[in-house]
Structure 1
Amino acid sequence: MRFDLKTLEFDRIIEEMASYAGTAIGQENVRALTPSADLDTVLEALHETAEGALYVAEGLEPSFGGIDDIREALKRARIQALLAVPDLLAIRRHIAATKRIRRELARLSQHLEQPIDLEAYCEALTVTKELADAIDQVMDDRGEILDTASVELKKIRGSLSATERRIKETLEGLLKREAKKLTEQLITFRHNRYVIPVKVSDKNRIKGTIMDYSSSGETAYIEPDMVRDLSSRKLRLEADERREIERILYALSAVVHDVHAVLKQNNDTLGHLDFVFAKARYGYQMEAVKPDMSTRLHLIKARHPLINRDTVVPNTITFDEGVKTMIITGSNTGGKTVTLKTTGLLACMAQAGLLIPVNPGSTLPCFKQIRADIGDEQSIEQSLSTFSSHMKNIVDILNTVTDGSLVLLDELGSGTDPNEGSSLAMSLLDALDEKNLLTMATTHYPELKAYAYTKTSIVNASVEFDENSLQPTFRLLLRTPGESHAFLIGERLGLPSSVIEAAKSRALVSETEVSDLIHKLKIESKRLDAMIQEQERLNRETEALKKDTEQLRRTLQQEKETLKERLRLENHRILESLKAEALALIQDLEQLKTQSFKAHEVADAKYRARSLGAEGETEKSQETRQYEPGDTVYLFKFNRHGELLKKQKKSQWLVKMGSVKSVFKEEDFEYAEASTTKKTQPQTPAQKTVKKSVPGTLDLRGMRAHEAEIVLQKYLDDCAVADLPFASIVHGFGTLALRNMVKDTVSKSPLVASFRDGESGEGGQGVTVIYFG
């Protein structure tokens, strides 16, 4: 397995990508990345990178910046060595990062509502909470050992603080008494002991030990005898403090040792995840996609990743079925070599698990080897000419390349006699064509252009040259051989016209067989290119439609969630409103007990209280009611009551209304009163009065005034019998005849206590609300 990575500039890709990794181990993984020839390995790596790109595209990728490299600390922990405070702090931060990234990894599948395989790494990340708590109990975020780290440490530091306080108090008293003998009135520190600055001339007048002199020699720093014992005690306590801290750190190191294998797995997992997301971010910034691994090389709008995106010309590079060799011809500086490098580099990137800058639908085989002979490798040290250098590489390729490989040859056969070079090039291509591999070669030899048409396994291609602007377009034209345009390029580069004309005069005047062939194929190529461009346009439109559909799906999902939340809030608001109304009714009734009030106000309050939640109960009872002969029902159509006589087929009943009998469906009436067939004693006419169920609204619209008056009088009687507290009469606006009739009728009726126009929510002046006494 050999890949000519340096020739194809794969190392530059690696260096660019390493900057996207946030951890040391992640960067090491990037720099160690090489293509694989194992298809399963390639597919797994590509899948991980593509999933990482989903996180990046949604702005949900975890941040790996600032994660400490704890590998050296874990090595020491494994052999039970003492871990220093910085090591323990790094481990504590590492635990926090593990917890954070584990949480962030779970966010994307919830966001996209699809399973994400990268979440499996959550199981490999174990948060060692006990170790984190143990470190937090010992030190703060700056690494300062807490007084509460142990009982003994707290006791030692208490004694140390008290000793230092006594030393300072003693020295402060001495400063005041001996102020004239001092160069400054301050307490300072020399050789871990408290001292005072004394004039050299007075150094023998203060009992103590000289610990140091100033640089000028005018000040002696003296530790007075009166604090010597206290200073010695301070030093002993500081030594005790250091020993206790060391004991505490050993205990913490032992806890780390117990879980060092878990921490190592976490560190390796975070490093791998950082590596995956570095690949994903690198691919996302260059608008790269995941290629499909198949048996065909088909790169749609491929771009060289190291050329500026604003200037690079995308090209479609494809090998049709049965084609094994592509010969690329055309002018110098036209992009032939770039095409070779683009193909080889993108193949290496894909087999390294990287996204590549092509359009969706691109495919690549998993090559066993990717060999390249590109550029001028002339070596003075090895006494090799350009031709010899190329031949040395090509010999190595012929001897070592295997089936299933990709071979890239630049300027095949150049650097020697054209006739011999072209013949040698054709023989080399024959030798490669016998193997089951793909070959791409560039050349200027016209013989190779004609040679390509002698074999079905070989196809011509060329880089386009604009003869009007005398500039290369860098577009790759498939199935069409190109011309070198040496005269035009020489003229563009400033070659004297006299030289150009002399060269043209020496060229063959007649059109050669190859030239005729090129002319015909150019016409065919333009037709095929037009078809390809149309197909690519359709592909772009399809991709855009897919993106729009996905965006619409997300928008609808968001709107659905928003609507559900609004409905929940609205239901909550309605419930709270009903509760508030019920409380208000209770308060109104309490006030009515002690105040003078009108009858219709009491009736209104009673009816409102009864109405709360009654509607649903009525519907429920109506749904479960089993009718029986003799039941009294209310007929909607006639606004009258009737008696059920006999059940007919299905849900139909024979109903008696006064002297009239007719058949009605159960949906045409509602239950009013049960049958009273069982009689224990004769009843008076008053006792036989049926309490009717009357709707709270009467609609008179569409009736003439005199007809409506009769219906209204009957309705007022029914409301009185049913003990209805109030009712609504719908008369509309119209010519006001119905409205005036209703006002006149209810004002004269002894059954009506009061009336009013409807409010805005009740129908306004098109409705009259009446209250019964």
Structure 2
Amino acid sequence: MNKNIYNAIQFNIIKDELKKYAFSQFAKNTIDKREPSTSEAAVQRWLDETEEAVTILSSGQHVPFMGLSRIEQLTNQINKGMVLEAGELVEYADFLRSFRLIAKLFEKNQYQTPILYSYTNDLTDFSDIASVIYKFIQGNRVNSESSKELKRIRSQIAKLEKEIDQRLRKFMANGQNQKKLQDRLILMKDERYTVPVKIEFKQQVSGTIIDQSSKGTTVFIEPDTVRKYNDLLIMERAAEVGEVYQLLAYLTGLIGEQMETISYCMDVVTELEIIFSRGKYSRSINGKKPLINKEERIILKNVTHPLLTDPIPLTLDLGVDNRALIITGANAGGKTIVLKTVALVSLMTMFGILIANEEGTDIAVFDNIFIDIGDQQSLENSLSTFSGHMQNLSDVLKQVNRHTLVLLDEIGSGTDPNEGAALGIALMEEMYRKGSLVIATTHFGEIKEFALQHEDFTTAGMAFETDTLTPKYKLLLGETGESHAFWIAEKMKINARVLTQATEYLKNRSYNRSKQAFHSVTKVKTESVTQAANYEFSKGDRVCLNDSQKIGLYFETENEYNGFVYVDKEMIEVPLRRLTLLRTADELYPSGYDLDSLFESFAARKLRKDLDRGAKKAQKKLDKEMKQRRDDRS
């Protein structure tokens, strides 16, 4: 299987999610190393195993995977001849005991989980070894009853400690000694019992100085009365360490003798652990077992991408009536997500993971899946983006054949559109000729037309919400999606004249290539006046008054000779032949702009709006102005 696809479609993230559900490093390492299977039988078994694991989990039962967290490390220690500590032996005993508990669980559920039950038939019962370990070790400490010698040694240790305690307490109770003590405490220093003595009395106490405080105010003295007993105690503790080591070595040896069988059982439990990791993850994404085939057939029924938040379900079929699918549509419309979803759910299925789908989903088990997606630019090799894609596709072409899926994002992009489209079509034809299934995304009209005309190609478009300028991320089979370039440009207030011209260019490819003369605004030539006279001015056009060289806004036409221009906050009548057009209103203002607002003051504009909404204050002001005008006339 081509591993380059793993990062491109985030399959490695799926593996990381599976590892979160595993306990042992054995299982995590195996998940890392394991590849999706290209065998239909193996994939079918993995899916059945995962489905059985989900059955157990859904019933509220839990598989007793015990002692797994450090089992690899402990096994390596045993294999190296090292002796396990008491707590480590208990961990290993838990692991060995889990074999019997796991076997009992699946024996009870053998009719619901026959495959998993067959695994546990091979698990050996190591209860005898586990029982000996539990008997010898209690509370992470070797039990004194484990051997007569250990019992004798610990009994002697207890007697010596009692004797030392009594003697030291008697020493501290002595009135002559009390004033010399820093505290009435018995402290262990360098494996010997001592008492804390003030530094100034160190010469007045019979005994050996064992240690001194960090500040130098206290010395820790072993009184002569307990020296002999401390010596005996040290020897007995050394004997205890030796005896405990012998017992730990014996218990470790019990495990080591069965290591070959244990290793086999460990492989079985590791496989069960991986199966339940798949089951737990499958449950977390509401996965269900799809149908599978080795007949190059992909049928997706409302399949969702497991790593997206609120993903749009994907419905798609390929390999039934057509062997190639060309997806078109606007940028950011979800075309790339379609490619990634198809690849990801295919690999997940081939890995034994249940995917989120509806009944009727049928996943092909491929020998290889290739994808060409994203920026393939290589700084090390100084390759352009297009060259990087071509290098990748060159490698793909050498490997494609039957039972191969190829996913191509924006095929042929990154170069001259005509050459890119031709090359993209030729590449897909070659992949098709070799027997692979192909899904490609494109903006090129030539590739759309090719797909529509090819007997074994089909098209699909991405749904687009034209009212809100947003993609729906939904695949529409049998349609061709538009890039919506003109529509988006119109929504973004591109000048209507530009859009009209672009539409005309798209239809006939006849471009205006004539040279245009540009005239100075400050020195208007005679011929410019003549051109202006033939132009029909519109409200809002920016014009130049040839006589005064002032700039104004055209308001309206009075007759075929004169028009009104708003200049210096004043409306004046000007002959049309004395005007030069500088910028049209279409160029200056967006579609739907209120041009009347350009020719009235803010106060007048506010008054008009207030009158329109029936404001009493505005009406009173208007009445007052009318009365004032009547008075002025009279």
| Superposition TM-score, scaled by structure 2 size | 0.75
Q: Which residue of 1 aligns with 2:63?
A: 62
Q: Which residue of 2 aligns with 1:28?
A: 29
Q: Which residue of 2 aligns with 1:592?
A: none
Match of 2:401, SS state, is coil
Whether the 8 Å CA contact 1:196–1:223 is kept in 2: the answer is: yes
Describe the superposition over 1:529-565 as per-residue Cα deviations: whole angstroms up to 9, x where unpaired: xxxxxxxxxxxxxxxxxxxxxxxxxxxxxxxxxxxxx
Distance across 1 between alignment mates of 2:62 and 2:351: 21
Q: Which residue of 2 aligns with 1:153?
A: 150
Matches within 5 A, 1:330-479: 330-479=329-478
Q: Which residue of 2 aligns with 1:539?
A: none
Distance across 1 between alignment mates of 2:377 and 2:72: 45
Change (3 A) 1:216 1:375: closer
Match of 2:96, SS state, is helix
Match of 1:212, SS state, is strand
Deviation at 1:2, TM superposition (A): 2.0
Q: Which residue of 2 aligns with 1:571?
A: none
> Residue type of the partner of 1:160?
I
Distance across 2 between alignment mates of 1:228 and 1:22: 51
> Residue type of the partner of 1:507?
T
Aligned match of 1:166 in 159, 163, 166? 163
Describe the superposition over 1:28-78 as per-residue Cα deviations: whole angstroms up to 9, x where unpaired: 222333212222222222221122122223222425476332223323434
Match of 2:308, SS state, is coil
Match of 1:5, SS state, is helix
Whether the 8 Å CA contact 1:25–1:69 is kept in 2: the answer is: no
Describe the superposition over 1:609-634 as per-residue Cα deviations: whole angstroms up to 9, x where unpaired: xxxxxxxxxxxxxxxxxxxxxxxxxx
Whether the 8 Å CA contact 1:67–1:97 is kept in 2: the answer is: no
Distance across 1 between alignment mates of 2:30 and 2:58: 23
Distance across 2 between alignment mates of 1:447 and 1:379: 29
Whether the 8 Å CA contact 2:462–2:473 is kept in 1: the answer is: yes
Distance across 2 between alignment mates of 1:21 and 1:448: 47
Distance across 2 between alignment mates of 1:451 and 1:181: 105
Distance across 1 between alignment mates of 2:173 and 2:300: 90
The higher radius of gyration belongs to 1
Q: Which residue of 1 aligns with 2:201?
A: 202
Whether the 8 Å CA contact 1:23–1:65 is kept in 2: the answer is: no
Whether the 8 Å CA contact 2:144–2:150 is kept in 1: the answer is: yes
Change (3 A) 1:196 1:104: same
Change (3 A) 1:465 1:87: same
Distance across 1 between alignment mates of 2:421 and 2:240: 86
Distance across 1 between alignment mates of 2:313 and 2:77: 53
Match of 2:124, SS state, is coil
> Residue type of the partner of 1:299?
L
Deviation at 1:501, TM superposition (A): 4.5
Q: Which residue of 2 aligns with 1:750?
A: none
Distance across 2 between alignment mates of 1:255 and 1:232: 35
Q: CA RMSD in A?
A: 2.1
> Residue type of the partner of 2:136?
V
Change (3 A) 1:501 1:443: farther
Distance across 1 between alignment mates of 2:304 and 2:366: 20
Q: Which residue of 1 aligns with 2:308?
A: 307
Deviation at 1:409, TM superposition (A): 0.5
Q: Which runs of no fewer than 5 residues in structure 1 stay unpaired? A: 513-773
Matches within 5 A, 1:512-523: none
Deviation at 1:407, TM superposition (A): 0.3
Matches within 5 A, 1:539-578: none
Deviation at 1:222, TM superposition (A): 1.5
Q: Which residue of 1 aligns with 2:94?
A: 93
> Residue type of the partner of 1:199?
K
Distance across 2 between alignment mates of 1:509 and 1:68: 69
Deviation at 1:79, TM superposition (A): 5.2
Q: Which moved more, 1:320-329 or 1:145-154?
A: 320-329
Aligned match of 2:173 in 173, 176, 184? 176
Q: Which runs of no fewer than 5 residues in structure 2 stay unpaired? A: 509-634
> Residue type of the partner of 2:502?
R
Change (3 A) 1:508 1:65: farther
- Name the structure, 1 or 2, with higher relative contact order (CA <8 Å, separation 6+): 2
Alignment pair present for 1:261 and 2:260: yes
Whether the 8 Å CA contact 2:99–2:126 is kept in 1: the answer is: no
Deviation at 1:204, TM superposition (A): 2.7
> Residue type of the partner of 2:301?
I
Matches within 5 A, 1:493-642: 495-498=492-495, 501-508=497-504
Match of 2:28, SS state, is helix
Whether the 8 Å CA contact 2:371–2:406 is kept in 1: the answer is: yes
Q: Which residue of 2 aligns with 1:719?
A: none
Deviation at 1:485, TM superposition (A): 0.6
Whether the 8 Å CA contact 1:292–1:364 is kept in 2: the answer is: yes
Match of 2:93, SS state, is helix
Distance across 2 between alignment mates of 1:353 and 1:444: 36
Whether the 8 Å CA contact 1:302–1:315 is kept in 2: the answer is: yes
Change (3 A) 1:63 1:244: closer
Deviation at 1:286, TM superposition (A): 1.0
Distance across 1 between alignment mates of 2:70 and 2:200: 58
Distance across 1 between alignment mates of 2:158 and 2:120: 47
Match of 1:477, SS state, is strand
Whether the 8 Å CA contact 1:22–1:65 is kept in 2: the answer is: no
Q: Which residue of 2 aligns with 1:126?
A: 124
| Superposition TM-score, scaled by structure 1 size | 0.62
